[in-house]
Amino acid sequence: MNPSAMPESSAIMGRVLIAVGVVLVIAGAFLVFGKPLRLGSLPGDITIAGRQWQATILLGTSLLLSIILTIALNLFLRRR
């Protein structure tokens, strides 16, 4: 089947599925490589623990990921 003959909704659904796949690959990479990179234990990350519970507020990690994603998306979107 010729891709240009596909209905518009199928093309949009294909793009959405590709985007979801890319997000899953990136999330998987963070799960695999997050521990050696110390993600979750950076300066600025706050951990509060009780007897049978623990809460972690990832301020430093969130800030680092925000900066990296901002730079990456700006570089990617400016090329278009």
pLDDT exceeds 60 at position 1: no
Tell me the pLDDT tens digit for each residue of 19-76. 889 888 888 887 788 777 777 788 888 899 999 999 988 898 889 889 988 998 888 7
Residue 41, CA distances (Å) to 21, 48, 57, 59, 65 in order: 27, 13, 10, 10, 13
Degrees, nearest 5: CA angle 58-63-67: 150
Give residue 34's pLDDT.
75
Give residue 2's pLDDT.
61
Give residue 54's pLDDT.
92
Give residue 5's pLDDT.
59
